[in-house]
Amino acid sequence: KNQVEQSPQSLIILEGKNCTLQCNYTVSPFSNLRWYKQDTGRGPVSLTIMTFSENTKSNGRYTATLDADTKQSSLHITASQLSDSASYICVVSEYSSASKIIFGSGTRLSIRP
Amino acid sequence: GAVVSQHPSWVICKSGTSVKIECRSLDFQATTMFWYRQFPKQSLMLMATSNEGSKATYEQGVEKDKFLINHASLTLSTLTVTSAHPEDSSFYICSARDPAERYEQYFGPGTRLTVT
């Protein structure tokens, strides 16, 4: 069964600190992996997209990594800001005609001043 | 990036009434749009895939007669919650694929539905 597991479920860190969120998946065949940021009461906003051949992608203070062999991805946030408080969702797409996408349950990140 | 809008952003309706939610791709044509619902502190759950000019494909467990989807043009899909009940109260989000961008999927800002 295709699954996407994220950890931790929730995380609280102090402003200015770094953190890393994890995503493990069993989706096969694999097409691409995306990280989204979702503020409370808003739709998700794309942070990074990685295909099989990419193992790192940066977007400002966000850096995503992908290990297609171990089927693991991480999202690293550096120098966290209060505005980083949100849910971070890992989404993996199948490589098929249906292009089914599977959502992780998300990590709720809270930044404290 | 491309923009997807939803209208209304929130709606309160009485039990038994129907509510229509619009999803528009503002600067690209989307042959495929998706509808999700999200309960508090949970991830998005795909309800249906909306294809322009054809019938929507519903996920298992989603009542097609209750959640009517129409994708009449390349920039507009609508979701109508018919005979709404309090348990239909949720956050509804649409998304659209831009054919010009191979993997990207853009989400709308969501619609908060409250049924009293």
Task: Please report which confidence band the pLDDT of residue A99 belongs to, taking 50, 70 and 90 as the band edges.
Answer: low
Cβ(B23)–Cβ(B94) under 8 Å? yes
- Strand partners for B65: none
B106 Cβ contact partners less than 8 Å away, ≥ 6 residues apart: A46, B1, B2, B3, B4, B25, B95, B96, B97, B98
Q: Say whether residue B42 is in contact with chain A using an 8 A CB cutoff.
A: yes
Contacts of B44 in chain A (CB under 8 A): 44, 89, 103
The reported pLDDT for the residue numbered B103 is 66
Which tens digits make up the pLDDT trace of A52-98?
889 999 999 999 999 999 999 999 999 999 999 999 999 998 887 66
Burial classification of residue A107, based on how many CB atoms lie within 10 Å of its CB (0-12 exposed, 13-18 middle, 19 or more buried): buried
Contacts of B2 in chain A (CB under 8 A): none
Three-state SS string across A21-81, please? EEEEECCCCEEEEEEEEECCCCCCEEEEEEECCCCEEEECCEEEEEECCCCEEEEEECCCC
Query: Does residue B59 have a pLDDT over 80?
Result: yes
Q: Say whether residue B58 is in contact with chain A using an 8 A CB cutoff.
A: no
Contacts of A43 in chain B (CB under 8 A): 4, 6, 93, 95, 107-110
Q: What pairing do the DSSP bridges indicate for beta strands B10-13 and B111-115?
A: parallel
Which tens digits make up the pLDDT trace of A4-56?
999 999 999 999 999 999 999 998 888 899 999 999 999 999 999 999 889 99
Cβ(B35)–Cβ(B94) under 8 Å? yes
> Does B8 sit behind a cis peptide bond, omega within 30 degrees of 0 on the bond before it?
yes
Q: Do A34 and B105 touch (CB under 8 A)?
A: yes
CA A7, distance to chain mean position in Å, is 10
Q: Which residue of B has its CA nearest to A101?
A: B46
Task: Please report which confidence band the pLDDT of residue B16 belongs to, taking 50, 70 and 90 as the band edges.
Answer: very high
